[in-house]
Amino acid sequence: MASMQTPIVASIFLVAMSFENAMKGLVLSTQKFNASRTPVPAIMIVANLLSMAFGPMYVWSILATKDCQDSSLAFKICMHLFFCTFSFFLLYKTWIVSQKRSVVAVGATLLMANRAVWAVLDCMWSHSIPTPLGCLYVQDRTAVIGISTGGILVDIFCTATTIISAFRDVDDDAPSKMHKIYRVLIADNVLRTLSIMAVNAFTLNYAMYSTLNLIPGTPSVMILIPAISNCKFVYTQAINIEFFWITVRNDIMKEPERDEIRLTS
């Protein structure tokens, strides 16, 4: 078994923290789905299940000394499924906020296709090789750049669309609750975008200027990146903070009016 270096120990700790958060998110999203039967909590159920599955898969891959390609591919598939589910969650909410405009649906579809293409290419181009010391993981640089850029584009698209919708769809005669809802939606998108863009920007910068190979017995920041940013810690927190925003929106719209957008699902 690979030696327990500091980055490995830190990664396992972060994965464990995220697993706990995903379990709580799974319980809350299941309860919400049972009460509302709406798409948003259903998407969150899938995302939290994938987050929980990613933890064991990733720990297996970083500790494996045999079945190298199988372990790395399993964690890659789980990670990218989570990525796509997270992006779909953001884009679906954005489409609803935009009053289901066709142009937003087209943009969201293209961004999801971009995510899916880079996920497939990453699984094809990155690989793990067995060595006498353990598994040598070779990460494709172009794939990481494409994945990180795709995530940044989704964040910018969602935030920009929400802000544009707030100015376009809410006029001075709209109910005050509508103004408050859009302010909450903008705050939600901006804060989430800042956190996700920060980790994507770090990953992008690291991919461009640092080595991406994981050499057995050699400590590397690369081990920490999937645990702290790309799937587990930040992304899991970002999707489950939705329950806080649901509470805020429900407090504003305790008595929803017919012409208001309902985003409490």
Three-class SS state of 127: strand
3-class DSSP assignment, residue 159? helix
Q: What is the mean pLDDT of residues 109-138?
A: 92
Instruction: Note the pLDDT of residue 23.
Output: 93
Residues 6+ apart with CB under 8 A from 248: 184
CA distances from 30 to 21, 37, 67, 87 (A): 14, 10, 35, 20
pLDDT digits (tens, 9 = 90+) for 209-234: 777 777 776 767 777 777 765 556 78
Question: Which has more confidence, 172 or 222?
Answer: 222
Residue 257's pLDDT is 55
CB-CB contact of 245 with 188 (8 Å):
yes
The pTM for the full model equals 0.86
Task: Give pLDDT, residue 173.
Answer: 55
| Residue from 241, 245, 233 nearest 11 by CA | 233
Cα-Cα-Cα-Cα torsion 260, 261, 263, 265, nearest 10 degrees, comes to 90
**Of residues 164, 173, 152, the one with CA closest to residue 99:** 164
| Per-residue model confidence as pLDDT tens digits over 137-171 | 888 999 989 998 998 899 899 989 988 887 886 66
Residue 264 pLDDT level (bands cut at 50, 70, 90): very low
249 vs 251: CA distance, rounded Å: 5
pLDDT of residue 216: 73
Q: What is the pLDDT of residue 22?
A: 92
The 10s digit of each residue's pLDDT in 187-212 is 888 888 888 888 888 888 887 777 77
Contact 153, 111 (CB under 8 A): yes
Residue 170's pLDDT is 65
Percent with pLDDT over 70 in the chain: 88
Which of 125, 15, 120, 20 is closest to 62 using CA atoms?
15
Higher pLDDT, 190 or 86: 86
